[in-house]
Structure 1
Amino acid sequence: MDYQDTRDGNALPLPAPSRDAPPAGQIDAHPLEFSGSGGGYFRVWAVNVLLSIITLGFYTPWARRRTAQYFYSHSLVADSPLEFTAQQRKMVVGFVLLVLLTLAYKIAVETGQDTAVALFLLGGAALAPYIWGSAMRFRLGATRWRGLRLQFTARWREVYIASWPVFALALVWIGVVFGLQALAPEAGEAVQQVGAKARKALPSVSWAMGGVVLLGIVLSLLCAIRLEYNYKSLLVQRTRLGAAAGRWKPVYLDFVKIWLATVAVFVLSVVLIGALLAAAIGGSAVLLMGQAQRLGPWMFVLVLAGVVGGAVLLVLASAPARAYREARMFQLVWNNVGLGQVARFKCGLRTRSYVLLRIKNILLTLFTLGLYRPFARVSEYRMKFESVTLFVKGGVDQVTGAMVRQQQGALGDALADAAGLDLIG
């Protein structure tokens, strides 16, 4: 019998090849499948919403667990469903802790405790990498497939190193504030007395001040992109299935290109919707001006409705850009990741189809006052999930059999989940 050495020096027997096993070099393709439906998820969603309303939101951790279990159990990878095995107790504790911290921060803000607010903000920035790492450890540790447990094995030092854009972002805006003060020192404490009232003198805005703010926005965007890249690459490279580690190929410039294209799509969407809105309002305004006296009080209602509708349209203008970025990022990641030397993925998601699906889902959700939301979520999840194909070298049964024998025991499970906080959405 052949043996394979592991990291701890123990020899593990390799599974004996079956007569029906595929050749060692053969690569099998397994398109991913989603067996759920909008109607099936609607029942889960309706119960979650109803109980969350009745319990004033405290049903949230149970709702998240039921949602995760529904999508996991209907997600088939090589004809085997995923499993979500998170303990409900840990999810409840994480939720309660988050609620208490949020309440404490709001109380500090409303009571004017500036020192406490500053400490909350500094503490939040310092703990943000720990919270993210704990969430990934919890989420992956609760995922099972064919008896295999996913693990996030990054050390805390690696997580904090990958989080440097968070601290760089804080430094950028500290620099922006000091830069504005240097360019407009009169904006500090200059006060002019006008009658019995006092008002702060507002400095004139110069091109230099606008340049400083614009520079801060650009640097902030670059920091956000870098943070996303660092976290995704660390998540893939430090994820293990059995003894196989994730493989990552994308570079930072790939993310920058997607974000630049997303900004272009957003600007184009705003221009198009703005032009259509201006044309519609312009034509209607001429008619309304002639009927203003007859309409009377209804004129104010119509103007208010037009303003609200325009604001909603401008907000919705970001939907195509968000869908575009989501689709392009999904393609980039799933076309360039793998699992050791035994598995890789290929993504066939079409950006245009996904953007059109998102627009259709938003419109149907608005027209149905939110009732179409579960159907929209299932359709988008299905399009993305079923666009991925898994390629396994040597056959799924042979590879997973070896991985089951190589993975850590129950102690590893307990250690991996010890610091887990629930951030599963």
Structure 2
Amino acid sequence: MDTRDTFQVQFKGDAQTYFGIWIVNLMLSIVTFGIYSAWAKVRTKKYFAQNTTIDGRRFDYHATGKQILIGRVIVVAALILYSVLSAIPVVGIILALGFIGVGPYLINRSLKFNARMTSFSGLRFGFDGTFWHALKVFLLYPVLCLFTLYLAWPFVARAQQRYYVKNHRYGTAQFDFESGVGPFYKALVFAAFWAVGVVIAITAVFFGPALAAGQLFGEDSIWVTSDLMTVVPVLIIVIAVLPAGFIYRAYIRNAVYAAASVQGGHEFTSTVKPLALVGIAITNALAVMLSLGLMLPWTHVRMSRYLARNTYITVNGTLDAFVGAEEEKVSALGDAFTDFEGIDVDFAL
């Protein structure tokens, strides 16, 4: 008889330990003029991966600083070459057209590298996306969306998330993604309502009395020349725009996890609360500013812990049986791969 067990993801890292890693990374990156930042990224990813577990089995990250540094050097060299050659008009046009295809290539390269360098319970992930599919969902669809004044953006967001999820695999077990467009419209609408509502509220509080008295504009008005014309846009960004982004992220994350599954009937759940995520983001930002950046490790650990405890996987059968079966399949097929440079394009889920 089939059994279904649900496991909560656990993050066991602590701010004190990560602060030690972070401060060393920062100092060495400064004294090496940024060169050590490649190794710093590996140390950070490895720490967060190794402290994330499911039913006692942990994740891991296997890239090296050298691999990531090589990738960065290639990108920087390509940008310098482009800047030099683009000074020639005809060559510049040709290069600009050629660079249209670079975006999807880099996205695929990054996804393949990071999947291959990430493991769970000793078994690595993989990514099998194609260039033409990436070109379609990350370039063609957004361009076409312009003609709808971005009202069709939820369709684009769903296509991009489907591409990201469905082309991943754990060992040989392929991920799947099935979702209507409704949850993506819900995310956009709720985020927009927050942003518009806060803008209206800020306008009413700061400019309402002047509007009512008819003194907002004119030579005798103090409003146009006051510091409010500087303060209000900042408030709009901090209270309206940034929280709206986190609200959108929360709804999208929940929708993507609900729609994702792994071959064999294994499913995911995300229970992130939009306003809770906004609260954590705002207090994290305040902590970083008031501590002049020294609280940054604490904020990273705090956010990781919150996201982990609101993430669940439901296994069809047992986790031991699932992982063991995949280990046997991978061993039978062979697990050879070549080390290649790493280029990171992060996806926030």
TM-score by length of 1: 0.70
Residue pairs, 1:138-287, within 5 angstroms: 138-163=113-138, 166-167=139-140, 169-170=142-143, 216=146, 218-220=148-150, 222=152, 225-278=154-207
Residue pairs, 1:32-47, within 5 angstroms: 32-47=9-24
What is the aligned partner in structure 2 of residue 423 from structure 1?
A: 345
Change (3 A) 1:411 1:399: closer
Instruction: Give, in angstroms, the shift of residue 379 of structure 1.
Output: 1.4
What amino acid maps onto 1:141 in structure 2? R
Provide the identity percentage. 22
d(CA) in 2 for partners of 1:48 and 1:254? Answer: 39
Determine which of 274, 278, 300 is the counterpart of 1:351.
Answer: 274
d(CA) in 1 for partners of 2:207 and 2:84? Answer: 43
Q: How many residues align?
A: 338
RMSD: 3.3
Are 1:387 and 2:272 matched, yes or no? no
Given that 1:139 and 1:424 are in contact with CA atoms closer than 8 Å, whether structure 2 keeps it comes out as no
Change (3 A) 1:140 1:331: same
What amino acid maps onto 1:246 in structure 2? F
What amino acid maps onto 2:140 in structure 1? F
What is the aligned partner in structure 2 of residue 69 from structure 1?
A: 46
Given that 1:331 and 1:347 are in contact with CA atoms closer than 8 Å, whether structure 2 keeps it comes out as yes
> Which runs of 5 or more residues in structure 2 are unaligned?
216-221
Deviations 1:278-304 (A, max 9, x none): 47999xx9xxxxxx9xxxxxxxxx966
Given that 1:52 and 1:60 are in contact with CA atoms closer than 8 Å, whether structure 2 keeps it comes out as yes
Deviations 1:153-179 (A, max 9, x none): 23334333434xx1354577xxxxxxx
Could you say what secondary structure the match of 2:126 adopts?
A: strand
Change (3 A) 1:117 1:38: farther
What is the aligned partner in structure 2 of residue 396 from structure 1?
A: 319
d(CA) in 1 for partners of 2:264 and 2:144? Answer: 41
Are 1:314 and 2:243 matched, yes or no? no
What is the aligned partner in structure 1 of residue 4 from structure 2?
A: 27
d(CA) in 2 for partners of 1:217 and 1:142? Answer: 39
What is the aligned partner in structure 1 of residue 219 from structure 2?
A: none
> Which runs of 5 or more residues in structure 1 are unaligned?
1-23, 173-215, 286-291, 293-301
Change (3 A) 1:238 1:168: closer
d(CA) in 2 for partners of 1:275 and 1:100? Answer: 51
Instruction: Give, in angstroms, the shift of residue 44 of structure 1.
Output: 2.2
Which stretch of structure 1 is more off in the superposition, 116-125 or 64-73? Answer: 116-125
d(CA) in 1 for partners of 2:201 and 2:147? Answer: 24
Deviations 1:213-268 (A, max 9, x none): xxx48535635x44432232122222111222112122334323312322222222
Instruction: Give, in angstroms, the shift of residue 32 of structure 1.
Output: 0.7
What amino acid maps onto 1:376 in structure 2? T
d(CA) in 2 for partners of 1:335 and 1:262? Answer: 19
